[in-house]
Amino acid sequence: MKIIQNNIDHLEQSSFDQASKVWSGYDIVVRMKEYGIGPQHKDELLKCFSAVCEDATERSVQNVRGQTVKLSSASGSTLERMFNIMDFMYRKDLKYLEDYRVAILKSTTYVSDNNTDGSWISSRNRRGGMRPVPKYVITLHFWCMNPGVVSTYNIWSFTQF
């Protein structure tokens, strides 16, 4: 989230409804180091990830409001994908790092004031005066440009400690 927050104002407009910023593997590692998730932190981060996943399956915890909370399967899946990516990027002393690109994409879609199903586009609704409202979707992408990087390894091996 910090990578997105710190770079969202520096995106380059690539089309009418899309802006982006793309970094090479080495450029993104510099940024990841700033947030404590660089290559030197990989082993510690993997231990933390393993502990979080173990705790999530064994028990739930109380938050500050006294509510019982548990890591959702969607959050666990997102964390797992992120650690898979880091594992491949940082593997073998960064051998595959230049095979990666990282991008922030900001897309704009338009929805009506009164509904979000896109029906404002119809001529009947246009005459009714409904105005489209921009909705921004911001995504962070990790692209592996070399399929050989992943195909030579067992994707799940890093979770087995």
pLDDT for the residue numbered 19:
92
Mean pLDDT of 98-115: 82
**Per-residue pLDDT at 156 exceeds 50:** no
More confident residue, 114 or 13: 13
Compute the half-sphere exposure of residue 48: CA atoms within 13 Å on the CB side of its CA: 9
For β-strands 18-24 and 12-15, DSSP reports them as: antiparallel
pLDDT for the residue numbered 34:
87
Mean pLDDT of 127-134: 68
Q: Are 117 and 124 in contact (CB under 8 A)?
A: no
Sign of CA dihedral 161, 46, 24, 155: positive
Per-residue pLDDT tens for 50-77? 777 776 555 566 666 777 767 777 877 8
Q: If pLDDT is split at 50, 70 and 90, which confidence band does 154 have?
A: very low
Q: Measured between alpha carbons, how far is 79 from 51 in angstroms, rounded to an integer?
A: 12
**Per-residue pLDDT at 160 exceeds 50:** no
**Per-residue pLDDT at 21 exceeds 80:** yes
pTM score, two decimals?
0.65
Mean pLDDT of 119-142: 70
